[in-house]
Chains A and B, each alone.
Chain A
Amino acid sequence: MPQCAPEDTLRVAVVAAEREALRNDPAPVRVLTAEGIGRSGATSLDEALRMFSGVSVKDYGGVGGLKTVSVRNLGSQHTVVIYDGAVISDAMNGSADIGRFNLDGVSSVRVSLGGTSDIFQTPRQQLSAASLVIGTAPAVFGKSPVQAAVRLGVGAFGTWSPYLLYRHRLAPGWALTASADYVYSRGNYPYTFKNGGLVIKKTRECSDVSSLRTEIGTSGDMGRAGTLSVKALFNASCRGLPGSVVYYADNPRERLWDRNLLTSALWNWNGADLWKVRTSVGWTRSFSRYLDTDPVWKEPRKDEYLQNEGSVSALVMFGPVKGFSVSAGEDFFVNTLSTSLEDCPFPTRFSSMTSLFASWSCKRLTLNAGAVLTCVREMVRTGQGASPVNRISPSLSLSWRLSERENLVLRASVKDGFRMPTFNDLYYARVGNRSLTPEKALQVNLGLVWGRTIGCWDLGLALDAFFNRVRDKIIAIPTMFIWRMRNAGLVNMAGADFDSRVRVQAISWMDVRLDGSYSLNYAVDVTDPESKNYAHQIPYTPLHCGNATLSVTTPWVSLSYILSACGKRYSSAQNIPENRMEPYADHSLSLFREFSLGRSGHYFLRLSAQVRNLGGKNYEIVRYYPMPGLNWRIEMKFSFR
């Protein structure tokens, strides 16, 4: 048996952080820490999310392609995305594009699904079927009051991504952080497609993107008065929309411009271990402009959309006795939309979500229970607004450590959440339907989590079986004349997520980890027994999918290999050969090393190289949207801290 490396305090801390990934909360939580992000070699959020079981990223391909995240086939509108305490919302479409986030400065990526894992969460997060929370680390200064980083990334298909970060200690405990992150990609990647015996070899056109993301914020520790963080984020992007690959024709002419500003202030306070308080205020303004110069329009089509969201949130947790705590929260937010479209009714939505949760834990049992009360009222300038919504969404979850000695935990959760109809569902010219009700999502999860350290081996396993049911699914129903949005779908889903992790540190200078996950998803449309797709697997839902990550960390160079594989699935409702999409596997390999420059211990250089999609096949996640083939990226990051 090999000699185990001596324990040191740093390593213990790392192990503690790493164990987060296989947590035994009452409901499943997938976590990637800064450590894990660094080790995986992932540079964008969607790459990181692909490593999570039960989480899928819908990707239209390329750097600029829309990327949305959904959990266990519930639809991306059921996932709330939160960046540093601020909700990234889109009341018009209902789902956020996560393509705009890179992982520089991100300290944790966390997805909760299936139920209530933690009672200290905002009502908005408690209500959503799933939440994706992106956190940034507070600045920790050494001797120098200044920290800075410069990065330059260069990638295939004309991709450039410079990044700048500056941090300044304003006063003890107070820091100013400013960053700018720019991405340009021509996105003109070649692809090969087969149309029967015809081989199409083309280059993706109109797939360019140029995107700037800036962030400025200050955060401070006010001692007994808590911590305060105020920040503003500004994004601007311009991109081509390449559309699907159309046989015999290829002339995409659509473009999209986005500008959004997000401001938020967050105050956290802990009182004598009895009280925990978090309040925030925020305002988001999102503007987008769409242009289509297809000559089928007499005049080029130009649409403009402006959304605003103002929000206030308060969350209090009180733990009067050990093992028992209660939390109460209130989220109040206002959304508006104005568009240049015909018949835009200029809706204003007032939403209030109130939560009350309690958590009780004794030696081996933890029980979380509570409910969220949602009240939504809507006003429009013309006609009648959508029907008011008043709903109570209960949630119950528990974890039970089965054995005193063994780290084996059973968890079970039930949650009845919903998503609001989007502004498009309700008001989009002619198609919208103002009498829509929310789309309900019931989630049931039952899982087992086991972990053990045997010598230098660190092992973890988790198996979660789930059942979800989506009622009143909002879908478009055709009539002979026009489509209408209706609450007409019923989908049953059953499946399982399996996660495993192995870590070996047999020799002191080498750390080897292998994480694997597998998901089984049976999700069938049971809306209409007369319909030809009755009991057919819903679109874009593979029965089997999985991924594996191998990382080897050494002082000389570190390596990460990520495999994600997806079984056959169907691009449309009916499970017939014409709609079948072939399985694919995506392999990517990263090599990186961080150097300490000079003797001062303040200057660091990180070099990384990544090769993605080693198989080189232009597989599709969305049908007729080919993904880039073999592509590479190198990155140089210089930092001072």
Chain B
Amino acid sequence: MGILPLIFSLFFVGCEKASVENDASSDLTGLVILNNGNWGDNNGSVMAYDAVLQDFTDVFKSANNKALGDLGQDILVLGDDIYISVQGSQVIFVCDCNFRVKKEIKVSDSEGNQLSPNYFAASADKVYVTLYEGWLGEIDPSEDYAVRITEVGPNPVGLACVSGKIYVANSGGYVQYYYNNTLSVVDETSFKEVSTIEVNVNPQTVVANSSGNLLYVSSLGNYGDMAPKLEVVNLSDGSVHSTSYSGVSEIARGADDTLYILCGGYDSSWNPLPGTVYAHNMALNSGKGVFSEIKFEKAYKISADSRTGNVFVTASDYKTNGDVYVLDRSGKLLSKFDSRGLNPVKALFL
């Protein structure tokens, strides 16, 4: 009985599937993946596609001869700079286009506590970063990446810059027992919180449409009686409206003012359900239906490249290397590959 699978497993250990299942027409050159890693394991990584090896390699490690660190959270390209936030390691790396570190930014509050960087958003000339201890940071590339911070709500995560204001989602994930339900509105010039907007509990990601009048906010709820939601904030009057998507876990801004929505959930015996991706017209605030027919098993995160129009869906079981699906703007699968790291959070073409 028990010995049979054991013997079989002995034979199969050596075999491994090809890591990249590629459509011949698609070129992955320039594709970069950020792997979050696992908390406390120092295994965040930036992987770049190597056309010669036809595989992904740790480009940050090979460029700097050191690892990225613990929890690679976000990656942002502004001008010639690549910003990477490493939350557990409490560091922001500013790299050149070859991922060589040109600046290591450590942010601390007035009491000297190191702060943990989360997500980025860029205005025309500044980079904003949420700091998990309850702050928003502003990085000024023209002043040797000087940072100033301002207080926002508890445990801020996603953020968006819209016409002189920064909207910050205060998740409150670490306020014992209670999640937060606000967005902080920070004025760019005064760099102070000027107001707050009430949304569903545990807001995560904030995306503005191109005309800057609507703000899309995804929230995870309290994992109990309050469900996750996708809400729309009308910035002209401050009103908040719910959308009809259920089981919303992640959203991403794509090309042509399209919002991609990853939805999932679990069945009654806690089996995770596969993820579904929907497309939403952000200008008209109207649904465009299911974006891709693929049922994404172990779906984890979604990101999109507004320049190329590609949509990236990642999958993870949190214990083995993840997978990345590359889709074109019509939802067709171009490529699927192993992310060569744990918990791929974001992909982009450089």
Instruction: Assess whether A477 is interfacial by the CB under 8 Å rule.
Output: yes
Q: What range describes how many residues of B lie at the interface?
A: 35 or more
For residue B275, which residues in chain A have a CB less than 8 angstroms away from its CB? 480
Chain A nearest CB: distance from B116 CB in Å? Answer: 7
**Docked-complex contact B65 and A296, CB < 8 angstroms:** no
**Complex Cα gap A7–B249 (Å):** 78
Q: C-beta contact mask, B217-249 vs A, less than 8 Å → 1, else 0? A: 000100110001000000000000000000101
Instruction: Assess whether A486 is interfacial by the CB under 8 Å rule.
Output: yes
Once A480-B300, A623-B41 are accepted as A-B contacts, the answer to whether A295 and B109 lie under 8 Å apart by CB is yes
Chain A nearest CB: distance from B342 CB in Å? Answer: 8
**Complex Cα gap A578–B37 (Å):** 11
For residue B177, which residues in chain A have a CB less than 8 angstroms away from its CB? 342
**Complex Cα gap A281–B213 (Å):** 71
Which residue of the partner chain, among B6, B13, B298, B318, contacts A492 with CB atoms under 8 Å? B6
Instruction: Assess whether A138 is interfacial by the CB under 8 Å rule.
Output: no
- Name the residue in A297, A342, A571 with the highest tally of chain B Cβ atoms < 10 Å from its Cβ: A297
Q: C-beta contact mask, A551-572 vs B, less than 8 Å → 1, else 0? A: 0000000000000000000011
**Docked-complex contact A197 and B154, CB < 8 angstroms:** no
**Docked-complex contact B9 and A298, CB < 8 angstroms:** no
Instruction: Assess whether A576 is interfacial by the CB under 8 Å rule.
Output: yes
Instruction: Assess whether A2 is interfacial by the CB under 8 Å rule.
Output: no
For residue B116, which residues in chain A have a CB less than 8 angstroms away from its CB? 296
**Complex Cα gap A597–B309 (Å):** 87
For residue A244, which residues in chain B have a CB less than 8 angstroms away from its CB? 40-42
Which residue of chain B has the shortest Cβ distance to A539 in the bound complex? B319
Once A433-B270, A480-B272, A531-B320 are accepted as A-B contacts, the answer to whether A197 and B65 lie under 8 Å apart by CB is yes
**Docked-complex contact B2 and A467, CB < 8 angstroms:** yes
Q: What range describes how many residues of A lie at the interface?
A: 35 or more
Which residue of the partner chain, among A467, A478, A536, contacts B318 with CB atoms under 8 Å? A478
Which residue of chain B has the shortest Cβ distance to A200 in the bound complex? B66
Chain A nearest CB: distance from B104 CB in Å? Answer: 8
Q: Which of B74-106 contact A (CB under 8 A)?
A: 86, 88-91, 104
**Complex Cα gap A532–B69 (Å):** 23
**Docked-complex contact B265 and A481, CB < 8 angstroms:** yes
- Name the residue in A297, A433, A481, A574 with the highest tally of chain B Cβ atoms < 10 Å from its Cβ: A481
Q: Which of A220-279 contact B (CB under 8 A)?
A: 243-249, 251
**Complex Cα gap A299–B40 (Å):** 22
Once A296-B132, A578-B43 are accepted as A-B contacts, the answer to whether A481 and B91 lie under 8 Å apart by CB is no
Instruction: Assess whether B321 is interfacial by the CB under 8 Å rule.
Output: yes
Once A295-B133, A578-B43 are accepted as A-B contacts, the answer to whether A526 and B6 lie under 8 Å apart by CB is yes
For residue B66, which residues in chain A have a CB less than 8 angstroms away from its CB? 195-198, 247
Instruction: Assess whether A617 is interfacial by the CB under 8 Å rule.
Output: no
Chain A nearest CB: distance from B312 CB in Å? Answer: 16
5 A-B pairs with least C-beta separation: A535-B9, A197-B65, A532-B320, A196-B66, A480-B264
| 30 interchain pairs, CB-CB under 8 A | A196-B66, A198-B65, A244-B40, A248-B86, A249-B90, A249-B91, A295-B111, A295-B113, A295-B133, A296-B155, A296-B174, A430-B224, A467-B2, A469-B2, A478-B272, A478-B316, A478-B317, A478-B318, A479-B270, A479-B273, A480-B272, A481-B249, A482-B223, A484-B266, A492-B3, A494-B6, A526-B5, A533-B320, A572-B38, A578-B43
The interface of chain B, by Cβ under 8 A from chain A, is 2-3, 5-6, 8-10, 12-13, 38, 40-43, 61, 64-67, 69-70, 86, 88-91, 104, 109, 111, 113-116, 132-134, 154-155, 174-177, 220, 223-224, 228, 247, 249-250, 262, 264-266, 269-270, 272-273, 275, 298-300, 316-321, 338, 341-342
The interface of chain A, by Cβ under 8 A from chain B, is 195-198, 243-249, 251, 295-299, 301, 342, 430, 433, 435, 442, 467, 469, 477-482, 484, 486, 492, 494, 524, 526, 531-536, 571-574, 576, 578, 623-624
